[in-house]
Amino acid sequence: MSRISHHPVLGDLASRKSLSFEFDGKTYEAYENETIAAALLANGIRQLRVHEESGTPRGIYCNIGHCMECRVTVNGQANKRACLTLVEQDMIVEGGKQLPNLIKRMVEQQ
Residues at the interface with ligand FES (CB under 6 A) = 60-63, 65-70, 81, 83
User: Closest separation between CB of residue 57 and ligand FES, Å?
Assistant: 14
**Smallest gap from residue 94 Cβ to ligand FES (A):** 16
The dihedral over CA atoms of 29, 86, 88, 47, expressed in degrees to the nearest 10, equals -50
Closest CA to 16 of 27, 35, 30, 26: 30
Nearer to ligand FES, 30 or 60 (CB): 60
Contact (CB, 8 A) for 3 and 42: yes
Q: Pick the closer one to ligand FES by CB: 68 or 103.
A: 68
Residue 79 beta carbon to ligand FES: minimum distance, rounded to whole angstroms: 11
